Amino acid sequence: MSDTPYSAQPPQAFWRTAVADPGCWGYEGLFRSKWKLPANAGFATYGSCFAQHISRAVQANGKPWINAEPAPASASPALAKRYNYGVYSARTANIYTARMLALWVALAQDGALCDTIEIWEDAGRFRDSLRPTLEPEGFASRAECLEMLRSTARAFARSAKQAQVFVFTMGLTEGFAHATTGQPYALCPGTVAGRYDPTEHHFVNDGYPAVLKSMKKAIRGLRSLNPALKILLTVSPVPLTATATSDHVLLATQYSKSVLRAVATDLAASAPFIDYFPSYEIIAAPPTRGQFFEPNLRSVAPEGVALVMRHFFAGMRFTKKPLAAQDESAQDAAIRAEAAAEDLACEDILLDPEAKP
């Protein structure tokens, strides 16, 4: 037999030697970062609820995690958790779609846009439509609700400016948006707050071109805030709770994840500052036989999370050289100064009327 392009391929290029023989617990070489990062490179984390595992793992492994919107010093850990502090690098709550990420980046670039975000009132309490579950009891006034949204937009901008790596976990293609303004919502209006009006609230299931466009817009905005920022994309392995399409939820889930996976791959191939980490494949690929899902076939078991994060840190490349001390201290001081001036939380489970929050 003559030589072919396969002749010199390493073992990881063949299904037998890379998958069948080692099994899912023995995969090697699934991820190798494009970048060599300083030993104390800071990570900002956002995305769908699976992204919270990355937030926690970064901290547990002793790597700097950007917390640009910390809880008040007087708040107990339990109270801070109840009010959704420390979940992401800013108090955005889950960002499920590319449309929503692009909107948060726009708010970070121009805080005045916060005034255009729809505010919902119910029994004298107010919630912004990007984070309806953020405050357990809602806000006391529209003005307070808007000011807290502005504060988070500033914190989001700070996190992008201070981080070396922005990790975004892509979750869904489905969502709802206002028919006139195009503003996306965190959840279908009426799920937790607001009232659903089919004439105003349109269902959107973005395909590849729309997701790619939103992600490119978001990445351009992030890089305008921090030209040196690196973007690490991953896709959540968590299936959809529910679909508003006419498809079976299994088919809707596979469509959504396939689109997101394709966009992430193409973005990573398009620029040296964008990379992809395969959390979706580690958990949901057929060879795992579903063993990393809990009995509800949706939640990822701790063993699966641990395996994902093992590959994450095995593939990240850190040099022994840290960021310059003055740079790091200046970043910390800026975050503290601006902040002084002003279980997984998965909202989408509420789409299932029989689910318990």
Domain range summary for the chain, segments of one domain joined by +: 24-340
Residue 48 in tokens: 């769908």
Hey, how many other C-beta atoms are within 10 angstroms of the C-beta on 224? Answer: 13
Tell me the average pLDDT across 33-43: 94
* C-alpha to C-alpha distance for 135 and 309, rounded to whole angstroms: 30
Give CA 310 to chain center in angstroms.
Answer: 19
* C-alpha to C-alpha distance for 222 and 236, rounded to whole angstroms: 21
Global confidence as pTM: 0.89
pLDDT of residue 125: 94
Cβ pair 215, 97 in contact under 8 A: no
Tell me the average pLDDT across 330-348: 46
* C-alpha to C-alpha distance for 266 and 285, rounded to whole angstroms: 20
Q: Does the structure show a pLDDT above 50 at 343?
A: yes
Backbone angles phi, psi at 247, to 5 degrees: -85, 160
Residue 179 in tokens: 């028919």
Q: End-to-end distance of the chain based on CA atoms, in angstroms? A: 61
Instruction: Please report, for residues 69, 144, 178, the alpha-carbon distance to residue 203 in angstroms, rounded to integers and kept in the order given.
Output: 32, 29, 9
Answer with the residue of higher pLDDT: 203 or 349.
Answer: 203
Q: Does the structure show a pLDDT above 60 at 272?
A: yes
Of 80-94, 202-216, 325-339, which has the strongest mean pLDDT? 202-216
Confidence tier at 342 by pLDDT (50, 70, 90)? very low
Residue range 119-158, pLDDT digits in tens? 999 989 999 999 999 998 999 999 999 999 999 999 999 9
Confidence tier at 192 by pLDDT (50, 70, 90)? confident
Mean pLDDT over each residue of the chain, to the nearest integer: 90
* C-alpha to C-alpha distance for 107 and 152, rounded to whole angstroms: 9
**Strand residues in 28-150 grouped as ranges (E):** 36-37, 43-47, 119-122, 125-128
pLDDT above 90 coverage of the chain, percent: 82
What's the length of the chain? 357
- Degrees to nearest 5, angle at CA 121 with 119 and 124: 140
Least confident of 226-240, 278-292, 309-323, 335-349: 335-349
pLDDT above 70 coverage of the chain, percent: 89
pLDDT of residue 340: 43
Query: Checking DSSP bridges between strand 201-205 and strand 43-47, what pairing results, if any?
Result: unpaired
User: How many alpha carbons fall within 13 Å on the CB side of residue 15?
Assistant: 3
